[in-house]
Amino acid sequence: MDSGGNSLPSGADGRKRRVTYHYDQQIGNYYYGYKHSMKPHRIRMTHKLLDAYNLLPKMQVFQPRMATIEDLTKFHTDDYIDFLKSITPKMAEKLSDKCKKFNLSTGGDCPVFDGLYSFCSSYAGGSLSSAARLNKGSCDIAINWSGGLHHAKSSCASGFCYVNDIVLAILELLKHHQRVLYVDIDVHHGDGVEEAFYTTNRVMTVSFHQQNIFPETGDIRNIGDLAGKNYAVNVPLQEGITDENYQFMFKPIIKKVMEVYQPEAVVLQCGADSLADDRLGRFNLTIKGHGECVKFLRSFNVPLLLLGGGGYTLRNVARCWCYETAVALDEELDNDLPENDYYDYYGPTYTLHAPPQVWEIRDNKNSICDLHNIKRTVLQNLSNLEHAPSVQFQERPPNADPGEELEDMFE
């Protein structure tokens, strides 16, 4: 692919990238509730594993600034953000009707918990700071593992997600890039991001997901509308898909996307609930198989934003995102885990690439015939795109604050 002026500088070996890592030291303190599957603590576990593998000194580490109301209302409605800012667990029962309007509750998928607004400001700020660094050209790859909450809608929460940091980050990237590609490898369809950009050709959304589970969207026939027709790509898969089957779909489709769309920046949502052993997901991907998606997109040498997402078996989420950070850095990691604050979580193997528990391996319900048919349909739709769209930039709005570098975080 001819990347023109968008080719990235790299090391003498042609492989090294300048990587920034955005981490709020308070992120692991937020708590959805005892019985809730979403645990922000997994971000702290990931960070401690990165530290133990000595990966932090190989990146620029930033404390992201908190997203402001002005930032959040670039996509979300004023009344929704105002309510998020003011609601507390004590108030939630008295304001149950208002909570229902915004899909919030005292329990359920999107509970009101202590520090909810600060949590949203933190993870959204991390994604905005990451996008701002890419816009400045001060890095080739930016990472915010606390981001990637792809279900949130403009006026309500959805599926454990309150603020759609991905949409906000893409809007930031669009200030400097004509075309942004969004790729989603979470087990769930990236509905909130697709919906936000469904009628524009400046963002192409590509989602590989399990069909017939929450949010029950992402049909292969949903391809965008108006100016965005053929710029939404959905690859619905059955449970139990393996690394081999997944890459049989992922690589040819992404290769074609890169050829026809020629994005100037790429956002990859790395939801780890597509791994085998996940508490909610039902795919059979290994950490290496999941990381192969990162490796493949990295190979195109286009500015890349890596975000987190789903993932509900904490030890595997931390393993996965640590490994994918190493992929971004082109660093090899020892399979034996180093001592770290959460070492006991990783038993009984205490390895980076632990085999899935036998009883958690799902039957692969993806036939080769079905996969061929899905791939053929998607590639045919992509062939309908005659050329990459362009846009004439007028005066650009001001850039987001890229956050404060924390040189001492890894000392």
Alpha helices in 53-115 (DSSP H): 69-72, 78-86, 89-92, 96-101
Annotated active-site residue 36? The verdict is: no
Q: Is 186 annotated as a binding residue?
A: yes
The neighbouring-strand residues paired with 275 are 285
Q: Is 273 annotated as a binding residue?
A: yes
Q: What is the Cα–Cα distance from 73 to 224, expressed in whole angstroms?
A: 24
Task: Report the 10 Å Cβ neighbour count for 105.
Answer: 16
Q: What is the Cα–Cα distance from 112 to 84, expressed in whole angstroms?
A: 9
Q: How far is CA 388 from CA 4, 176, 252, 260, 262, in A?
A: 13, 16, 18, 6, 6
Q: What is the Cα–Cα distance from 221 to 80, expressed in whole angstroms?
A: 31
Q: Is 291 annotated as a binding residue?
A: no
Q: Is 159 annotated as a binding residue?
A: yes
Q: Is 109 annotated as a binding residue?
A: yes
Q: What is the Cα–Cα distance from 33 to 254, expressed in whole angstroms?
A: 38
Q: What is the Cα–Cα distance from 144 to 64, expressed in whole angstroms?
A: 9
Q: How far is CA 343 from CA 26, 52, 228, 298, 356, in A?
A: 20, 10, 47, 30, 18
Residue that the structure tokens 């971004």 belong to:
328
Catalytic residue among 22, 47, 150, 151: 151
For the annotated catalytic residues, the residue numbers are: 151
Annotated binding site for a divalent metal cation: 186, 188, 273
Annotated binding site for substrate: 109, 159, 312
